[in-house]
Chain A
Amino acid sequence: MPRSGEPGTRPPPVPYGLCSVAVFLFAATSSLAAASPSLEPTRFTLDNGMTFLIVERPGRPLVSAVWAVRGGSASDPPGRRGLAHVVEHLLYGGSRTIGTRDWKEEAPLLRRWERLYEQSVRRGAAASGLDRVEQRLTALQRGGAYAGVYARAGALGIDAFTRHDSTTFQTLLPKEKIELWFWMESDRLLEPVFRGFRRELAVVEQERRQRIDASPAGTWFELFDAAYWGAGHPYAHSPGGERLEVARLLPADARSHFEALYRPDRLVAVLVGDVSPARARDLAKRYFGRLKRPGRREAAAAENAVAPTPALESLEGLCDCRSQVEIRYRTVPFAAAGDAVALDVLAGLLNSRSGRLYRDLVVGEDRVAFAASAEHVSRQLDGYFAVRIEAGEGVELPELTPAWDGLLGRILAGSAVDSELDRVRRQLLTDSWRQLEQDAGVAHRLAAAEVLGGWRQLTEWLDAAAGVSASDLERVIDRYFVTADRAVLSLTRSGDAGR
């Protein structure tokens, strides 16, 4: 964020779209472990099922603290797209202790407000008394109190991210004050109070617009997700949700989402910094040990059903943007082995300045592209391989997809050479070290991997990537890069439409 030119919080350490290949280039290979033995996290699980990973890094003034819940926008029920994101926002409303001047007085009023609000939404008109009760509530509540407590303690980077398969909450605080994090986070998980419901719906809508509507091609990418995955698919909508459905959400929806997903056996917390595992364990037991262990039936009910097959529909449109295509092939869910990793490596081979996309499509003799990139997006339920090509000067949209097909043919014709693979492996290894440099990044990566099935996948991924051979690449290209299994988003720059 551009601020005063003085100390600022870093931008969120993990970009939108967590499961891209770059995020998983994290490693503690044997050579690395030897160089910095403290990077192996200490892992423990409380009796209630909540998991902790601690990476002790002595001497750091700040601790990066992250917790994540297994479950994000893919868990939104039909007709309530955007619910997970709304709950993420509501969790900053405080608790029975934080955010209120007098909980005893506030509680009955809040219940009354919720009844009136529900009536209003159902009827489509404000119930009488709603605004009056809301005014009284506002007077009793302390807006921004949650963040205020942290700020007065010198904490920063307070933020949260809703993704398809997970929701993550982060804080950065002075190492002396780590107990405050345990207090605050366990408090809001124990007894959250969803305040300012109407306002948060408005803010969530603003965020959706800012992320999607304000960028020229944003709406098209959102529509393409819907076309590619197909109606009703858990990944068919963005975490931002759907405007009309968000507007009709009720506090009861938020509560049932919270109860179903924010349970200790779905929670992972990661601390990176100058904090000893023993002390963390002690504090974790005392504070998070208060969360109730879910019954077995509850635990089973919350698991996702098997994801439906994507619809793979293509989409064409006009846009105030550069003419471009995104070509998607259906692949496999996230895994730290086999085809999933080979596809990640293939993306590495295609990208970077010595990669095929740049050489052939961006700067080559037959160049067609302003820019081109590849990404293997693998999530918990399913994955796809995306190639994005933006048209260069004087290039028409219909030239783009054939240019990619030609490139693919050349790779298949056997020109994926060992020196290219060596280059990718070298880059992957160095990247994996780079990703250990920042504590907050390490915390986010560990949390994301643990939520997806175990932090060790990060090291397994790197080992698997090092073993990918040219024949593995041929195999995955053969298997997945099939025209019948692809969908294409084609956007023509509005100004070019008449030509």
Chain B
Amino acid sequence: MSRVLALALLAAVVPFPGSVAAQAIPERPEDLRFAPSVFEPPPVSGLRFELGNGLPVYVVPDRGLPLVDVVVALPVGDRNEAPGEDGLASMTAAMARRGGAGESGPDELDDEIDALGARIQASSSWGRTVLVLDSGSEALDRGLELLASILFEPRFDEARVEQAKENLRVSLLAEADDPRAVLEREWLRLVHGPASPRSRRLTQASIAAFDRDALARFHRRHWSSRGAVIAASGDVDAEALVARLDELFGGWEPRPPEAAEDPKGLPQGLPVESAEPAAPAAVSPGWWTIDRPGTQAALAFGHRGALFDSWDDPGRWALMLLAEILDGPGAVSRLRSRLQLEEGLTYRVLTHFSLDIVTTATDSGRNRGMGEFRVFLETAPESTVEAASVVLEEVRRLLRDEVPENEIATARQSLLARLPLLFDRAEAIAGRYAEDELLGRPHEYWAVYRERLLAVTAADIREAARRFLEPEESVLLVIGGRKATSRDRGFDELRDALGDPRAASG
């Protein structure tokens, strides 16, 4: 009896998914049958520990490779900068790592980290400052000591700070040459208004204001254990690691004593909400252009991002699906279909939806957060008007028409398919759950993720569109070398929605 026949007979009596067609190739991929794949995020129980000072630590051991990652994250960032301190949070993080720490000068610190084969990085973004140790497990103990030293006793070596300032000044000049950087900066300014912290940018004046004292002061005032978390993963024994972390980080105070009595009487580390300007920002919707000759033009379209009361706001789940449908990285992307697959106008379109929670709000009256809804793309100079009008049209379509069920199903599938990527390694699992605590996102979020997305209907998506999308209140900023003319495809639609093109600074 041939093997084929034997298998066929076997298949006839044993329902065995996948092998019914063991030797045959189905005509279409849709004819393939698969076992269901339902991904459940790994349980969080047993992963959380607390140090003596209450500092939460998430540990996910994985002995597969002799590597360990330890991340210390603080809820501190650009948003904690006072006016005139633009760039100070990032500079503090960078120089904590680069300016020496404890007993070690900058070169000695680098030598020691490199000799361990380890890496330590410190960086800061809008809402968080992160210190990362990535080392072989046999170098972990010393690596942790160095990490603690950078966190608690950075030296901010004066010469290195001066040298970093030189480089920042050079960077700033280069930024003015880079059309993408100019577009980003000016678009944010138009969207949030010049007074918003989101519009703050490094300037020659703010660089001049950085010195060793300013960095040390920012460090003293903001780098406290309040709200901080630690995530550790890799080749470790959880109990032993937590004991060691407790020795090094368990005495870290919620707020260092010096911060309470700042000699210069500068504002204290205020809660994020009240540190923001209270007046509504002067936003500038409309069609703006920056003249910049070149073979490639770029544009950004959108407005301030949505704001939610809670992680479980039904509108937030609906908006996630809406974002996926408009331009997610999965296969359903209306913008990619139109701009790339149909028209060949652009190689890549990048859309970003902030899904902020109320703690980062400025302007909650208008239900808008500190984030953005933004479509960015590059195209040939003669195609900017057409490309922008396609974006406008697709945003309006979401407001007007319900999304067909099959499109929602595919978008949902894409979103759910990416869920395992967030938990695919020990480092990701520890990091994700620690991030929950940093952001105030309940762990429960991941447990209900699937079911919430499954519950979103076409009507919910349209309601989310009406709640959060404002095409006529958008800022369209085009940087390129060609003037739009009324003969361009889509010119009238754009002008009707946004007014005549105006020159922006930049």
Is A126 in the interface zone, CB < 8 Å from B? Answer: no
Name B's interface SS: mixed
Is B405 in the interface zone, CB < 8 Å from A? Answer: no
Known contacts A2-B350, A322-B170; is-contact A434 B67 (Cβ 8 Å) = yes
Q: Which stretch in B43-51, B177-185, B484-492 binds the other chain?
A: B177-185
Contact status B32-A392, CB under 8 Å? no
Contact status B323-A3, CB under 8 Å? yes
Min C-beta distance of A17 to chain B, whole Å: 19
Cα separation A216 to B107 with both chains bound (whole Å): 33
Contact status B64-A287, CB under 8 Å? no
Total interface residues in chain B, CB < 8 Å: 92
Known contacts A154-B413, A321-B174, A437-B67; is-contact A7 B418 (Cβ 8 Å) = yes
Contact status A143-B341, CB under 8 Å? yes
Residue on B nearest A178 in the bound complex, by CB: B34
Is B416 in the interface zone, CB < 8 Å from A? Answer: yes
Chain B residues 414-456 with CB under 8 Å of chain A are 414-422, 424-425, 427
Contact status B110-A353, CB under 8 Å? yes
On chain B, the residues within 8 Å of A148 by CB distance are 331, 410
Cα separation A5 to B127 with both chains bound (whole Å): 14
Contact status B296-A214, CB under 8 Å? yes
Contact status A177-B65, CB under 8 Å? no
Known contacts A6-B415, A213-B296, A430-B136; is-contact A179 B32 (Cβ 8 Å) = yes
Is A151 in the interface zone, CB < 8 Å from B? Answer: yes
Contact status A206-B65, CB under 8 Å? no
Contact status A62-B65, CB under 8 Å? no
Please pick, from B163, B341, B353, the residue contacting A367 in the complex, using a CB distance under 8 A. B163
Total interface residues in chain A, CB < 8 Å: 93
Is A30 in the interface zone, CB < 8 Å from B? Answer: no
Cα separation A419 to B413 with both chains bound (whole Å): 53
On chain B, the residues within 8 Å of A175 by CB distance are 37
On chain B, the residues within 8 Å of A200 by CB distance are 344
Known contacts A156-B418, A214-B298; is-contact A437 B427 (Cβ 8 Å) = yes
Cα separation A62 to B423 with both chains bound (whole Å): 11
Contact status B174-A4, CB under 8 Å? no
Contact status B378-A214, CB under 8 Å? yes
Chain B residues 270-319 with CB under 8 Å of chain A are 294-296, 298, 319
Is A131 in the interface zone, CB < 8 Å from B? Answer: no
On chain B, the residues within 8 Å of A179 by CB distance are 18, 32, 34
Chain A residues 7-45 with CB under 8 Å of chain B are 7-10, 32, 35-36
Min C-beta distance of B246 to chain A, whole Å: 26
Please pick, from B98, B174, B344, the residue contacting A202 in the complex, using a CB distance under 8 A. B344
Residue on B nearest A186 in the bound complex, by CB: B25
Cα separation A209 to B345 with both chains bound (whole Å): 12
Min C-beta distance of B404 to chain A, whole Å: 14
Please pick, from A1, A158, A198, A433, the residue contacting B65 in the complex, using a CB distance under 8 A. A433
Contact status B107-A9, CB under 8 Å? no
Known contacts A6-B320, A10-B421, A437-B427; is-contact A426 B110 (Cβ 8 Å) = no
Contact status A151-B414, CB under 8 Å? yes
Contact status A143-B337, CB under 8 Å? yes
On chain A, the residues within 8 Å of B418 by CB distance are 6-9, 156
Contact status B341-A4, CB under 8 Å? no
A-B contact pairs, 8 of them (CB 8 A): A5-B355, A148-B331, A152-B331, A154-B37, A154-B413, A174-B37, A213-B296, A430-B136
Closest 10 CB pairs of A and B: A151-B331, A7-B418, A154-B417, A202-B344, A426-B117, A430-B117, A320-B177, A199-B344, A207-B347, A61-B420
List chain A positions with a Cβ less than 8 A from chain B. 1-10, 32, 35-36, 60-62, 97-98, 143-144, 147-156, 158, 172, 174-177, 179-180, 183-184, 187, 196, 198-204, 206-207, 209-210, 213-216, 286-287, 290, 320-322, 352-354, 359, 362-363, 367, 370-371, 390-394, 419, 422-423, 426-427, 429-431, 433-434, 436-439, 493, 495
